[in-house]
Amino acid sequence: MKAIQITAPQQMAVVDVPMQQPKDDEVLLRLNYVGFCGSDLSTFSGKNPMVKMPVIPGHEVGAVIEAVGANVPDGLVPGMTVTVNPYTNCGKCASCRNGRVNACQHNETLGVQRNGAMREFISLPWEKVIPAGRLTPRTCALIEPMSVGFHAVSRAQVTDIDVVMVIGCGMVGMGAVVRSVQRGATVVAADIDDEKLELARQMGAGYTINTKKEDVHARLLQMTSGFGPDVVIEAVGSPATYQMAVDEVAFTGRVICIGYTKSEVSFETKYFVQKELDIRGSRNAQPSDFRAVIHYLERDTCPVDQLISRVVKPEDAPQAMQQWAEQPGKVFRILVDFTGK
């Protein structure tokens, strides 16, 4: 069967791999659409230390069940539209013991620590297959990245009295914007791209800041009566945005870190103490986050078409990835169409 493989930095090819058959506890999925995400871009660029090449990327899935193993529950049947929880959990580490399986110490994410979903078929444990209701497989490919943003909002314990600043309006950041709005918070979206900021407004952000053009500190003080935002969600992963989050959050505020920085970050640690900050990591997503995103997308209020920058055939994926690497700030999601239509 056809698959996309990153063979080395800056090298991607369409290859032929063996067809999988479902084991008794597995579901065979026919992939329809699979999204390229930031981790795939990092792998392609040679900047992802967790990846061993060659690797099949992809963990943002819109699929249809092709076949089921003998021990799969009756609720999963051929023809059903589904998405995938792409993380593993060992069941034995401290995270798993505490019920936070999304942060499993030994997690292996599809397309990162193990071969992913950029192929025509994949067989997975039935527990990782999530029914997607009436959503189309194309829309399903957006569920996982938005779930990561939803999870960050849960980590922040956002309420309707909070001002939430989301730094970075890619797909994960948009998820954080949506979930914060759903919880009744006042949302400030921050990015360097005006088109992304306009889309954040469409998705409910009350305020936007172009951090490249505007005085971020002055704007935030103006918006918050001098207090600063109660919550800052960092969804970029750069030293500058990490520092911005700590500098700009209100006293006794919460800073939620999603993005990985590729280099060390220097802080004035006095702010940690003087502000009595809660600084929390946010990793992956819980099953409840996936369900919440599906529920949101079923309302048909999300501008799905504007979140999909491009849909390409597998043969055109290498060129699309190269173009994304050259202009990373201009892409929400590139989907690879495996339907053959």
CB 275, CB 252: distance < 8 Å: yes
Exposure letters 248-270 (e unless 16+ CB within 10 A, then b) = bbbeebbbbbbbbeeeeeeeeee
- Output the pLDDT for position 340: 86
| Partner residues linked to 145 by β-bridges | none
- Output the pLDDT for position 273: 95
Query: Residue 176: what are its φ and ψ, rounded to 5°?
Result: -65, -35
DSSP state of 36: E
Listed residue (102, 71, 62) closest to 311, CA to CA: 62
Listed residue (3, 5, 7, 11) closest to 325, CA to CA: 11
Q: Which residues in the chain belong to E strands, given as ranges?
A: 2-8, 11-16, 26-36, 60-68, 81-84, 121-125, 129-131, 163-167, 186-191, 207-210, 231-234, 254-257, 278-281, 308-312, 333-337
CB 179, CB 149: distance < 8 Å: yes
- Output the pLDDT for position 337: 98
- Output the pLDDT for position 38: 87
What does the chain come to in residues? Answer: 341
Do β-strands 308-312 and 333-337 pair in parallel, antiparallel, or remain unpaired? parallel
- Output the pLDDT for position 48: 84
pLDDT truncated to tens, each residue of the chain (341 aa)? 999 999 999 999 999 999 999 999 999 999 999 999 988 999 999 888 888 899 999 999 999 999 999 999 999 999 999 999 999 999 999 999 999 999 999 999 999 999 999 999 999 999 999 999 999 999 999 999 999 999 999 999 999 999 999 999 999 999 999 999 999 999 999 999 999 999 999 999 999 999 999 999 999 999 999 999 999 999 999 999 999 999 999 999 999 999 888 788 888 888 999 999 999 999 999 999 999 999 999 999 999 999 999 999 999 999 999 999 988 777 889 999 999 87
Match 């929880």 to its residue by tokens. Answer: 85
- Output the pLDDT for position 92: 97
Q: How far is CA 10 from CA 234, 328, 335, in A?
A: 28, 14, 19
Containing H/E element for 153?
A: helix 143-156
- Output the pLDDT for position 70: 97
